[in-house]
Amino acid sequence: MTAPTAGAGETSEATATRRLLLSRVLTGRAEAGLYPVRFRGEVIERYRALPGAQVIRTRNVGRVALPRQWSLDVGIDDDTGEVSVPLRDLAGRLPEAERDHWLDHLVDEPGSAVFLRMQFAGAACIDDGEPEAWE
């Protein structure tokens, strides 16, 4: 196995840990919902200014909570200022009324928009031109 390389603003330890998690998901030893979704740290500012909200953190983890309503635990990357939340927690613990706010701070991952649209359509094929050599 080759050593994972770090992306911009992340440590090789973070890359190795994500790789380990994905490996466990792929082999059925962890649920896919554990995979982290990344957000710009500014997503938290809304709650720091909201009366009654609780925002606490240590060096690497934190929690955003509206007591007796909902809470999310977040991972914190001090190098980039980003926070991450397991996909299952976004789907299961974040109220619908908060989702657009979090989506507005989503860290975009590189990828093919056409391929993603194909996934939405359920195994549909999108005319993307003639086949090309894979070079």
Three-state SS across 54-69? EEEECCCEEEEEECCC
- Predicted structure pTM score: 0.78
Domain locations along the chain? 36-120
User: Using one digit for the tens of pLDDT, what is the confidence trace for 1-40?
Assistant: 344 444 555 568 888 988 999 999 999 998 999 999 999 9
For residue 106, the 8-state DSSP code is B
Give residue-wise pLDDT tens across range 103-134: 999 998 878 887 777 777 766 666 777 878 88
Distance of alpha carbon 109 from its chain centroid, rounded? 9
